[in-house]
Amino acid sequence: MIADARALDGPLEIGGVSFQSRLIVGTGKYETNEVMVDAIRASGAEMVTVAVRRVDLDRSSEAGILHHLDPDEFFLLANTAGCYSAEDAIRYARLARAAGFNEFVKLEVIGDERTLLPDVFGTIEAAKVLADEGFKVMAYTNDDLITALRLEDAGCVAVMPLASPIGSGLGVVNPYFIREIKSRLEVPIIVDAGVGTASHACVTMEQGVDGVLMNTALAAADDPVRMSHAMKHAIIAGRLAYLAGRMPSREIGVPSSPTRGMLD
Amino acid sequence: MTQDTIQVRLNGKDRAIDGGHTVATLLESLDLHPGMVVVELNRDILDRDDYAAHTVSDGDTLELVHFVGGG
């Protein structure tokens, strides 16, 4: 069934790399590493995000995610999560690249602790530096068109507006702005953050964006593996509905059965 | 020959370690696989192939980082 659905859609291409799945998933906040790996496999995602942190020298070195996640099975997208300045984000990105997997980075420069909304000025500044250094920057940003255009100009290979704040599960709060960003940029648009459940993922994909990135919606579900299956289908459903072109909506009823041929 | 201990700042904590370590032997003493960590020595990111060439000196600041779960 999935094979048929994929035949109706092209691949997602980001920075010269081709992906079959339009779902990108995070690896944070799972109760166990086993559940994380099972959930990611169920989601069908090929690209997975990871964070850069100090090795905890007082604990087992098994805490590193690469002890659980095979880098030959998944495409690792390192993030700069937790960085509040361009300088810090650039430092984290360079450390991530030195790990030797790829040139991709999910750039996050956070501007506010309560909402985790991005510092768009810092994000643009860091994006320019990193793109000049040969990074393939996928930039987390808000749903602002002008920022998105600046990030594309800065050389980002994907621009990733939020649906709603990170970890909020509120779904896409401004579908109009998401559509406008998609229609005005050439690079892939990945909606990153805020999706809470499968209907949100579906509605997001129906806006015509290229993909969705999520973490908490899967990790914080009561059953992450089951939710990952649901998200896989929701992403495909939303994408195909977008490609299929929906019927016009009307505020009156229109019968589906013939009005002629009724009995006296 | 026993080396004197030196003071370094390692992942945000002051530590006394044996003198004479290279980055490579320090990682080994910490039971860390060199392929699993990235090392920043005094804010410079080291090339993995050079770990054995860098001596750890008194007063050095080292950051040993790796990938963890994140979104």
For A67-106, the pLDDT digits (tens) are: 899 999 999 999 999 999 999 999 999 999 999 999 999 9
With respect to residue B70, please indicate whether it lies within any of the assigned structural domains: no
Instruction: Tell me: ipTM over 0.90.
Output: yes
Q: Is residue A3 part of a domain?
A: no
Let me know: does A211 contact A190? Beta carbons within 8 Å.
Answer: yes
The predicted pLDDT at position A47 comes to 98
Q: Do A50 and B69 touch (CB under 8 A)?
A: yes
- What pLDDT does residue A64 have? 84
Q: What is the DSSP string of A86-150?
A: HHHHHHHHHHHHHTSS-SEEEE--B--TTT--B-HHHHHHHHHHHHHTT-EEEEEE-S-HHHHHH
In this prediction, residue A11 carries a pLDDT of 95
Residue that the structure tokens 């010269």 belong to: A16
Chain A residues near residue B70 by CB distance under 8 angstroms: 26-28, 49-51, 53, 79, 81, 215
Q: What is the DSSP string of A30-84?
A: -SSHHHHHHHHHHHT-SEEEEEEEE--TTS-GGGSGGGTS-TTTSEEEEE-TT--
**C-alpha distances out from residue B47 to A99, A248, B44, B51, Å:** 9, 58, 9, 7
Helix (H) or strand (E) segment spanning residue A201: helix A198-206
Number of domains chain A is built from: 1
Residue range(s) defining the domain that contains residue A184: 19-55+62-244
Specify the DSSP class assigned to residue B69.
E
- The CATH number of residue A223's host domain is 3.20.20.70
What 3 state SS string does B36-50 have?
A: HCEEEECCEECCHHH
Q: In this predicted structure, which of A62-76, A183-197, A221-235, A239-253 has the lowest mean pLDDT? A: A62-76
Q: Which residues of B touch A133 (CB under 8 A)?
A: none
Q: Would you state the pLDDT for residue A122? A: 98
Domain hosting B35: range is 5-65
Residue A3: the pLDDT is: 59
Identify the pLDDT of residue A116.
Answer: 94
Query: Within 10 Å of residue B24's Cβ, how many Cβ atoms?
Result: 17
Tell me the pLDDT of chain A averaged across its residues: 95
What is the Cα–Cα distance from A28 to A72, expressed in whole angstroms? 19
B71 domain residue, yes or no: no
Mean of pLDDT values over A21-42: 96
Over residues A118-136, the mean pLDDT reads 98
Low-confidence ranges of chain B (pLDDT < 70): 1-3
Number of independent structural domains in chain B: 1
Q: Is residue A1 part of a domain?
A: no
Decide if B40 is inside a domain: yes
The band of A61, judged by pLDDT with boundaries at 50, 70 and 90, is low
Task: Say if residue A1's pLDDT is above 60.
Answer: no
Averaged pLDDT for residues A109-125? 97
Model confidence at A58, pLDDT cuts 50, 70, 90, reads confident
Per-residue confidence band for A5, with pLDDT thresholds at 50, 70 and 90: confident
Task: Pick A63's closest partner by Cβ from B31, B68, B70.
Answer: B68
User: Averaging pLDDT over each range in A1-10, A50-59, A61-70, A218-227, which range is the top one?
Assistant: A218-227
The structure tokens listed for B44 are: 């410079």
Per the CB < 8 Å rule, is A54 touching B63?
yes
Q: Is A128 a catalytic residue?
A: no
Which CATH number does the domain housing residue B29 bear? Answer: 3.10.20.30
List the single residue in B11, B38, B69 with the smallest CB-CB distance to A57: B11
